[in-house]
Structure 1
Amino acid sequence: MEQLQPLSDFFNAIASDPRISITHIGIYAALLQYWKEHQYQNPVNAFSHEIMLIAKISAATTYHKCVKDLSDYGYIKYVPSFKKNQGSKVYLLVAEL
């Protein structure tokens, strides 16, 4: 059950945040899954197409908007790489939620 704590903390944090949509939740959950698959590295280097596949999102603009929102709102820290051969850095702020 300890593995579910970051997701539970996220849901508690967003409970009263009207800015968060189902797409934000899907992307955050996908980031948690990706983080787990990469042995909880923080930051994790992620390519948008990998996270989009996990989150079942097909539009890159939607992905980038929601990731930027999550970063701006303080749920993650997103540092884009702007390079096709290098993933962006995503810091999951699980302890800070």
Structure 2
Amino acid sequence: MHNFFAAILYDPRIGVSHIALYMALYRCWIKEGGTGPVSAFSHEIMPIAKIAGSATYHRVLRELDEYGYLKYEPSFNRMRRSRMYLAEPAALDAGN
């Protein structure tokens, strides 16, 4: 977790919504045992991250993926959860 904050410290692209979403995903990752991907529906994560709009949620999630803070695998199936892989600490250090 410390590496995430170190990585975003000087990244001007990261805003409050990015941090809130990453923290919500991190919380779910811990609840799921702290290994592997986070599997979740957007309606499960959005209230935790205090994000009200699905467009904002998906934009921020795609940006975190694009910036290298996580890997997002959308399911494109309403009955199947999407998967988000939080970046390894070393990858965060190397990325920024």
Does TM, normalized by the shorter one, top 0.5? yes
Q: Does 1:56 align with 2:28?
A: no
Aligned residues: 91
Q: Quote the sequence identity (%).
A: 47
User: For structure 1, which runs of at least 5 residues remain unmatched after alignment?
Assistant: 1-5
Task: List, as ranges, runs of 4+ consecutive aligned residues in structure 1 with deviation greater than 3 Å.
Answer: none
Q: Deviations over 1:29-74 (max 9, x none)?
A: 0000010111113112111111101111110000000000000000
1:30: which partner in 2? Answer: 24
Question: Residue type matched to 2:47 in 1?
Answer: L
Q: RMSD across aligned C-alpha pairs, in angstroms?
A: 0.9
- Counterparts of 1:40 and 1:46 in 2: how far apart (Å)? 14
Query: 1:8-27: per-residue Cα shift (whole Å, max 9, x none)?
Result: 21110011110000000000
Q: Which runs of 5+ in 2 are unaligned?
A: none
Higher relative contact order (CA 8 A, sep 6+): 2
Distance in 2 (alpha carbons) for counterparts of 1:48 and 1:68:
13
State which of 49, 70, 80 in structure 2 corresponds to 1:86.
80
Q: Distance in 2 between matches of 1:18 and 1:85?
A: 36
For 1:94 and 1:48, the matched residues in 2 are separated by: 23
**Amino acid aligned to 1:60:** S
